[in-house]
Amino acid sequence: MPAVSFPTIEFAAFFVVVFVLSWALMPHPRAWRPFILLASYVFYGWLDWRWVLLLVGSTLVNTFASHVIARSPSQATRKRALIAAVTFDLALLGVFKYLGFFVSEVDDALDSIGLGSPLPLLQIVLPIGISFFTFQAISYVVDVYRGETRAAPLGDVAILQAFFPHLVAGPIVRANELLPQLRTPRDPREVLAGPGLFLIVGGLIKKTVVADELARNVVDPVFNDPSAHSGLETLLAIYGFAAQIYCDFSGYTDMAIGLALLLGFQLPQNFNRPYLALSLQDFWRRWHMTLSRWLRDYLYIPLGGNRGGPRRTIRNLMLTMLLGGLWHGAAWTFVIWGGIHGGAMSIERWTREHFRGFHIPAWLAWLITFHVVCLAWIFFRSPDLSTAFDMIGQVFAGGPSPLVTLPMVFLVVATVGLQAVPGDFWERAEAWLVARPVVAQGVAIGLLMVAADAAVGQEGVAPFIYFQF
């Protein structure tokens, strides 16, 4: 998956060219805007140019709808335009992401009641990043409707949706976060290089040294054949997947945020040390923060949030998390993943309301939260439900454990342990890096890139997990 994946030679060459031209054209917004848009479309269309047409179509429809909403004095017209745009966005997602699954399920159902198999099975290619740019489009048009942002010109909306650092796997950016930045030329004397370079190199290391190593040596072998592995290996694979998916996904978004910073733009934070969470609610404030805020603002609150009493609150929580699960794909494993999170958050809420004075120690709250998250990850990672239940059953199995090695245990412990390092430590490290001479910075980063490539070896960097969503 070249070009759309950051750790590739093609992307490095692409980024150097874009970096130079972007800063060169920055003082001339009329030239810079078409340039950055074209660069983003080249990035996205590298694998399949038809995907760009889809993205352009989404931009045109949502821009048109936002202008109707902004200009129409009639509330009914505004509402109709909003409904039309959101329906279009969801239909796009539905066709590419769920139609194949839906047709196949209906076909099976018809077959089971003796009506044969009348429906054609559909081979639909899922365009990379469609879930992300669709959610972003919905967010924009709803924000215009709510008056939280002004309807922007077509070019700005196109850049908002297609800006290549966040296009493929987020963060999901809201209009009022990026549009104001697009309207003000960035200052080339004040590039936030410290966090930018740190995030890019850190993200690369998270992906190559931790995520891919754990996947190759523990997680994939055990999830592929749980019954052939001992309880210890199964446990390590479960914890290992928790570390893998964090390093894989946060590694990608770290790189995305870092690349945007080098171009002068700040994207929202997407992860904030999630495995330190002391409750599921806390976890969702720290994990995939831009998705959880999207679900909160555009689903949970419109459903009624916590305004309709405890029962309604629990219903809304469950619905939000189940749909959040389905957002990842049409599979029962994702539904159960969402269900576990929704159920656990509902229990937390119920417990808080019924045992107000009762507090459990922080270490116990952390332990429970972490293990509920890990339990849910089992379903998320398993190809089907039977594998997930096999994994759970296998935790209690005996037998030799050759996959439980010190380096793998260390990677899991380090992934969780490093999250406890205070944020200002990293900030000091970033300032220290930026204070070094340019040559020293370049050599150090270059050597770290060589080390990261050596970690993955000749098999190369595996595709990022969230590309499939």
Query: What token pair was written down for 386?
Result: 């039977």
State yes or no: residue 2 binds other proteins (CB under 8 A): yes
Cα–Cα nearest to 319, from 349, 345, 293: 345
Q: Strand, coil or helix: what is 46?
A: coil
Among 30, 73, 114, 189, binds other proteins (CB under 8 A): 189
Alpha-carbon distances of 117 from 122, 412, 452, rounded to whole Å: 13, 47, 50
Q: How far is the CB of 285 from other proteins (least distance, A)?
A: 25
Q: Judged by CB under 8 A, which stretch of 3-11, 69-77, 304-312, 346-354 contacts other proteins?
A: 3-11
* Binding positions for other proteins, 16-35, rule CB under 8 A: 16, 19-20, 23
Cα–Cα nearest to 197, from 18, 21, 441, 4: 441
Number of residues that bind other proteins (CB under 8 A): 62
State yes or no: residue 42 binds other proteins (CB under 8 A): no
* Binding positions for other proteins, 408-437, rule CB under 8 A: 427, 430-431, 434-435
Distance CA 275, CA 254 (A): 17
Q: Which is nearer to other proteins, 127 or 274 (CB)?
A: 127
State yes or no: residue 148 binds other proteins (CB under 8 A): no
Distance CA 453, CA 461 (A): 8
Q: Which is nearer to other proteins, 180 or 442 (CB)?
A: 442
State yes or no: residue 106 binds other proteins (CB under 8 A): no
* Binding positions for other proteins, 236-255, rule CB under 8 A: none
State yes or no: residue 225 binds other proteins (CB under 8 A): yes
Q: How far is the CB of 79 from other proteins (least distance, A)?
A: 38
Residue 288's region, left for phi above 0, alpha for psi from -120 to 50, else beta, is left
Q: Judged by CB under 8 A, which stretch of 32-40, 365-373, 408-416, 443-451 contacts other proteins?
A: 443-451
State yes or no: residue 399 binds other proteins (CB under 8 A): no
Alpha helix ranges (H) inside 328-417 = 332-354, 362-381, 385-394, 406-417
Among 308, 309, 400, 460, binds other proteins (CB under 8 A): 460
What is the distance of C-alpha 295 from the center of its chain? 13
Token pair 């809420």: residue: 349
* Binding positions for other proteins, 357-396, rule CB under 8 A: 383
* Binding positions for other proteins, 305-364, rule CB under 8 A: none
Q: Judged by CB under 8 A, which stretch of 81-89, 104-112, 177-185, 298-306 contacts other proteins?
A: 104-112
Collect all residues with Cβ–Cβ distance below 8 Å to 42 and sequence separation of at least 6: 14
Check 166, 229, 288, 328 and give the catalytic one.
328
In degrees and rounded to multiples of 5, residue 229 shows phi and psi of -125, 155
Among 302, 308, 400, 442, binds other proteins (CB under 8 A): 442
State yes or no: residue 195 binds other proteins (CB under 8 A): yes
The alpha carbon torsion through 354, 360, 363, 365 (nearest 10 deg) reads: -10
What is the distance of C-alpha 229 from the center of its chain? 31
Q: How far is the CB of 354 from other proteins (least distance, A)?
A: 44
Side chain identity, residue 420:
A
Among 162, 262, 280, 411, binds other proteins (CB under 8 A): 262
Query: What token pair was written down for 464?
Result: 């990022």
Distance CA 458, CA 462 (A): 11
Among 17, 31, 109, 228, binds other proteins (CB under 8 A): 228
Whether the upstream peptide bond of residue 171 has omega within 30° of 0, thus cis, is: yes
Q: Which is nearer to other proteins, 36 or 278 (CB)?
A: 36
State yes or no: residue 188 binds other proteins (CB under 8 A): yes
Alpha helix ranges (H) inside 94-169 = 99-112, 130-146, 154-162, 164-167
Cα–Cα nearest to 306, from 346, 356, 359, 354: 346
- Are the beta carbons of 157 and 143 closer than 8 angstroms? no
State yes or no: residue 38 binds other proteins (CB under 8 A): no
Is 359 assigned a catalytic role?
no
Among 184, 190, 311, 361, binds other proteins (CB under 8 A): 190
State yes or no: residue 196 binds other proteins (CB under 8 A): yes
Among 34, 155, 185, 221, binds other proteins (CB under 8 A): 221
Alpha-carbon distances of 419 from 215, 319, 343, 360, 367, rounded to whole Å: 20, 30, 26, 22, 15
Helices 362-381 and 385-394 pack at an angle, to 10 degrees, of 140
* Binding positions for other proteins, 109-128, rule CB under 8 A: 111, 117, 121-125
State yes or no: residue 400 binds other proteins (CB under 8 A): no
Catalogue the active-site residues: 328
Residues of this chain that interact with other proteins (CB under 8 A) are 2, 8-10, 12, 15-16, 19-20, 23, 100, 104, 107-108, 111, 117, 121-125, 188-197, 221, 224-225, 227-228, 262, 264, 383, 427, 430-431, 434-435, 438-439, 441-443, 445-447, 449-451, 453-455, 457-460
